[in-house]
Structure 1
Amino acid sequence: MTRSSSAVRESLCRADKPYSPGRRLLGRRLALFAAGALAAFAFAGKPAQAQEFPTRAITMVVPFAAGGPTDTVARLIAESMSKSLGQQVVVENVGGAGGTRGAGQVAKATPDGYTVLVHHIGQATSATLYRKLAYNVLTDFTEMGLITDVPMTMIAKKDFAPTSIPELIAYVKENKDKIVYGNAGVGSASHLCGMLFMSALDTQMTTVPYQGTGPAMNDLVGGQIDLMCDQTTNTTGQIKSGKVKAYGVTTPARVKSLPDLPTFDEAGLKGFEVAVWHGMYGPKGVPPEVVAKLNGALKAALQDPKVIARFADLGTEPVALDRATPEVHKAFVASEVAKWKPVIEKAGVFAD
């Protein structure tokens, strides 16, 4: 049965009339729902970590055992960064394989900013030192800023014959087969310093690797080995107590905690410069907004009076803020890889 023409016209007229109050309310609700859905979609399109980072604790991996110099640096930084970020930065020690185990763990972590790495110069030297590295030093990390440069000191047993840097250089060249140089193990800072020293002199010494700085230092103090190069964090106390003979520092400027100790540069050995720098990293692909927040907290830590004072006790100081940037850090790592590659290859010392 068909509707009459008048009924049809009446229906059309109703359709052309303004909404009733009920229809208006329904329309508003639909509009609000649509707007909310669009906002939720846009919000969901952004990485969660970029919205309110951080919302939970951050893990700071140290690729060495607790109590060492890198662990000390990391814990000082972590404590200060926790205050700035409003969340705990928890240090986790993942030692083994010269620091490459912990670094590899961070390289494979989710790039959300909740896992970071604090590593020293070994981050750059591992690119050449290890034949089978599970990650690419230059492409598998997000650099977040340099932290500090720890100077190195060349020290010897108390009764070692040379009394100055020039005498030491001459003595090493003339007696290379009789000198025993100790280090804390392959890839350690003392190992790297020794390799660079021998490269600078174009000579070799008998090298004895130990399982850590402690045993090597004990044998040096006891006179079982002749020579060693290590961080001021490990040598300052021994030097001040007179248990070892100190020759010089390996940085361009003298160290404030050891002002009477000359630099190798001022003694005439140009190019022999090495410091155990530390930097902070995340996995590849951490969002720029998260990197910026972590870098800001790092810079605040480097200006923290407590951190500065404790670093001074360790014979070091925070880097200048213009070096604590992701861009400078990234370029610096690349330059260090290039610097150490020929030294390591010339020495012919590699690890699997």
Structure 2
Amino acid sequence: MPFSDEEIAEFKTEAEELLDGAEKCLMAVQRGEDFKAHYDAIFRVFHSLKGAAGMMEMPIVQSHMHQVETIFTEQKARPALDACYLSFFLRATDACRSLLDNETIDFNYTVSEAESEPPKADKGVAVAPAPAAVSQTKQAGRVLVVDDEPYIVEILREMLSDAGFEVCGISLPEEAVGLVESFKPEVVLSDISMPKVSGHALLRAIRESHPDLPVVFLSGQVDKDALMEGIEHGVYSVMEKPFNRAQVIDTCLNAVKKYRLAKLVQRSINLLVYQFSDLDDFLVKEGKLDVRNSIRHELSSLLEQMREMRRAENPARRAN
């Protein structure tokens, strides 16, 4: 099953999220939480990445995660995870990130008891309680607001924060694409007419790497041609200034729901694809080639339907 550059990029993004999750669990164990309570979550990350790397034809990443998973499963019977193993698995997650970035590394799979202190023990941002508190209170979603008028950004930031959203606002549109990568919003509110980078240009840039991310245009006066161009590139909605508070909140809530549903569907499909390598090996060993071929066909068909849907939403991709 060949994968496009876009699908490989999406896998790498999801892999980063999985590794972040495993790292948080390891740090929780380091802080004294029960290892067994976190074992399954960490195992799922290592196992999923091993299978996914195989499907994505990344043999070096697959081999790395296979060895890491093997060492990790050997710790299952232990009542607690020794400091040297905590350090090892934290190093292993960082090594996987490097391999995903196509870097060449020299990783030692021998666990040394000399590694008594995990290297990330004092990594402030990762273990600080503040982000956890934010994630618990800001359940409505993450919103990126882009407008060259700072007072508009502040109005929307206050309006959405009061409604339970986590908001990042910026009045420099040329920096917005970078914030999409770092802040990871679930909806983007962008003015249409901005200097240097227009709302349409921002929408096209976001569609290149985040085809499912909803973008809502903000405008003092909706121009028909501007609206049609936005629709052509998949704008989610348009809101006129001055803003109606209920409309802003409802639009953002619905956009976040749409985005989370799209991500859930994507993750479900990815789970099927990533875990197929284990099933594939089993079916070959059992001689059930008809079943194997049927499943491969269905997965290939499912992936192609997803590609077609995305090409239909993005004219630039339809041309390729």
TM (normalized to structure 2)?
A: 0.23
Answer 1 or 2: which has greater helix percent.
2
Higher relative contact order (CA 8 A, sep 6+): 1
Look at both structures and tell me which one has the larger radius of gyration over its CA atoms: 1
